[in-house]
């Protein structure tokens, strides 16, 4: 095939690929915010006792919705659907927190909210406060509220028209999706699963106690230093350290020290596999990082930025102390 | 001679128009989702501040399942804007696909009626309905400025 034909073929393949890539980026079925921004933070009294602060719920997917305990139709529908989302998540249900914020501070006490939300799911949190406390939260999430008196009823007889969207906040506290009332349970579940999977992926690999051995500056040629770290895989799939870089070195290689009947051998290895749930230590006398071509002498107390690249988790930075 | 030519041309025009009309009415609509994009242009906040009258967001907005069922609202302004319950930071986009016919209502201060209504219409049937859909689509090009 001619060079021009190959280029055309390549362009066609790219064009074919583009919709797939775009579809991947816009995989949410609820309304998604791009780029995602931090969800407005708040702290309110909860039906479980104590206070709930949104920014302290990091690590969980938060499903936030608004309503009131006298709500006859809309709120029970939303809460029953969110209970379904949790039950269908099975083992992952514990990683999701449903939060129901009152739009009726006059009648909704924490006790009332406790009785109300627990008929749907014991883990749901009902939040309330004074109008002064709740007002900024309603405003930040664009909740509109209109009180409607019920004709012929008593002084406490009124309904509250309110926005009944479900806000989906990811494990890093970012507002990702706003699903309007009426979004099918399947779609909310779908979006929650995407966020849980992404969170599992992001946090699967953890780097523990990174450090680098001190090294002098050599007068004739650049010297090397060894780097160590413990790699923990908290995910369910194996991963592998495949390469690394350091801000103070020209290159970094992964090496293994082996004792061949008393003779210490150092060998370059292509990767270090970290099985699911395992801790693999890069330590003196075993696997280590070889920082080659140091740009400076490394003395105790200095820090080195290491970037470790994993097959699945990608690049992860660590600040290593020089010892 | 010229008269004969005129008749021929007229016949050709009529035939072509009929063919185009038949195509527009009966040809299946392109599958896959398309988007209806509204843009809050740069400077909207300052125009509102100056008191420049701005025609509000169209309401109702019609989307069509399977054809133009994704609503996209982009904030190109430098400040936060709120469209109903959708709060958009500068250069942030809200993208919502609809896959089932239905009606959604949002409280929206930008509207005189106080509500923004979204109709998610079923895919238009072959015939007049599809012809009308194509005409509307051609008129709006699937993209509008917000607020207009």
Q: Write the DSSP assignment of A250-316 as a string of letters.
A: EEEEEEEEEEETTEEEEEE-S-EEE-TT-EEEE-TTSEEEEEEEESS-B-TT-EEEEEEEETTTEEE
pTM value is 0.65
C-alpha–C-alpha distance, residues A233 and A312, integer Å: 11
Chain B residues whose CB is inside 8 A of the A101 CB are none
Q: What is the predicted pLDDT for the residue at B52?
A: 67
Residue A34 burial (C-beta neighbours within 10 Å; 0-12, 13-18, 19+)? middle
How far apart, in whole angstroms, are the C-alpha atoms of residue A154 and residue A29? 42
The span from the CA of A254 to the CA of A272, in Å, is 8
Strand intervals (E) in A89-215: 96-102, 125-128, 145-149, 158-162, 166-169, 174-179, 205-212
Say yes or no for a CB contact (<8 Å) between A142 and B87.
yes
Give the pLDDT mean for B95-104.
Answer: 83
Contact A32 B99 (CB under 8 A): no
CB contact under 8 A, A178 and B94: yes
pLDDT tens, residue by residue, A180-199: 888 899 999 999 999 988 87
Closest CB from A33, A140, A182 relative to B94:
A33
Closest CA to A100 of A87, A112, A88, A92: A112
Asked if A184 lies within 8 A of B93 by C-beta distance, the reply is no
- β pairing state of A314-322 and A96-102: unpaired
Ramachandran angles phi, psi of A164, nearest 5°: -120, 35
- Is the pLDDT assigned to residue A61 strictly greater than 50? yes
How far, CA to CA in Å, does A317 sit from each of A55, A97, A322? Answer: 24, 30, 16
**pLDDT at site A83:** 97
Look up residue A173 and give its DSSP letter.
S
- A125 interfacial to chain B (CB closer than 8 Å): no
DSSP A108-134: --HHHHHHHHHTT-TT-EEEE--HHHH
Kind plus residue range of the DSSP H or E element containing A137: helix A131-140
The yes-or-no verdict on residue A25 having pLDDT over 60 is no
| Nearest partner of A314 among A196, A257, A235, A220, judged by Cα | A235
Question: Is pLDDT of A11 > 60?
Answer: no
Q: Which pLDDT score, from 0 to 100, does residue A18 have?
A: 39
A198: enclosing H helix or E strand: helix A185-203
- Which residues, including other chains, have CB under 8 Å from residue A74's CB and lie 6 or more apart? A67, A162, A164, A181
The predicted pLDDT at position A20 comes to 36
Q: Are A244 and A292 in contact (CB under 8 A)?
A: no
| Number of Cβ atoms within 10 Å of the Cβ of B106 | 22
| Paired strand residues for B102 | B120
In a 3-state reduction of DSSP, which class is residue B123?
coil
In tens, the pLDDT along B114-147 reads 677 888 888 888 888 888 888 877 776 554 444 4
| Closest by CA position to A79, among listed A132, A39, A116, A131 | A116
């Amino acid at each position: 095939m001619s060079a021009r034909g190959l280029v055309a073929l390549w362009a066609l393949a790219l064009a074919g690929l583009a919709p797939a890539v775009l579809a991947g980026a816009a995989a949410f079925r609820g309304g998604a915010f791009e780029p995602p921004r931090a969800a407005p933070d708040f702290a309110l009294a909860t039906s479980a006792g104590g206070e709930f602060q949104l920014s302290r719920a990091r690590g969980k997917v938060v499903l936030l919705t608004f309503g009131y305990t006298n709500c006859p139709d809309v709120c029970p529908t939303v809460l029953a659907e969110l209970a379904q989302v949790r039950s269908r998540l099975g083992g992952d249900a514990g990683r999701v927190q449903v939060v129901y914020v009152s739009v009726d501070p006059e009648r909704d006490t924490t006790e009332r909210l406790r009785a109300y939300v627990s008929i749907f799911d014991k883990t749901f949190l009902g939040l309330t406060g004074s109008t002064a406390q709740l007002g900024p939260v309603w405003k930040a999430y664009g909740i509109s509220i209109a009180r409607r008196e019920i004709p012929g009823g008593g002084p406490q007889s009124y309904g509250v028209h309110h926005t009944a969207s479900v806000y989906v906040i990811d494990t890093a506290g970012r507002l990702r999706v706003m699903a309007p009332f009426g979004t099918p349970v399947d779609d909310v579940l779908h979006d929650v699963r995407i966020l849980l999977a992404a969170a599992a992926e992001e946090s699967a690999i953890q780097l523990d106690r990174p450090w680098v051995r001190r090294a002098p500056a050599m007068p004739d040629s650049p010297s090397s230093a060894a780097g160590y770290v413990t790699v923990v895989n908290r995910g369910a799939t194996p991963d592998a350290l495949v390469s690394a870089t350091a801000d103070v070195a020209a290159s970094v290689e992964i090496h293994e020290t082996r004792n061949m009947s008393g003779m210490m051998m150092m060998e370059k290895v292509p990767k270090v596999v970290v099985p699911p749930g395992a801790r693999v230590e890069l330590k003196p006398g075993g696997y280590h990082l070889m920082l080659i071509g140091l740009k400076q002498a490394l003395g105790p107390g200095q820090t080195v930025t290491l970037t470790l690249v994993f097959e699945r988790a990608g690049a992860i930075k660590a600040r290593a102390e020089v010892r | 001679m010229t008269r004969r030519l005129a008749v021929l041309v007229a016949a050709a025009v009529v035939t072509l128009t009929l063919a185009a009309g038949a195509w527009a009415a009966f040809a299946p609509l392109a599958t896959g989702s398309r988007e209806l994009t509204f843009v809050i242009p740069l400077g909207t906040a300052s125009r509102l501040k100056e008191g420049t009258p701005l025609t509000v967001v169209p309401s109702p907005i019609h989307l069509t399942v399977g054809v133009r069922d994704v609503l996209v609202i982009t904030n190109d302004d430098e400040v936060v804007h709120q469209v109903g319950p959708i709060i958009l930071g500068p250069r942030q986009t809200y993208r919502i696909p609809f896959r089932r016919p239905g009606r959604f209502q949002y409280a929206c201060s930008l509207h005189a009626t106080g509500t923004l209504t979204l109709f998610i219409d079923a895919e238009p049937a072959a015939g007049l309905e599809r012809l009308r859909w194509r005409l509307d689509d051609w008129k709006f090009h699937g993209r509008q400025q917000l607020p207009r």
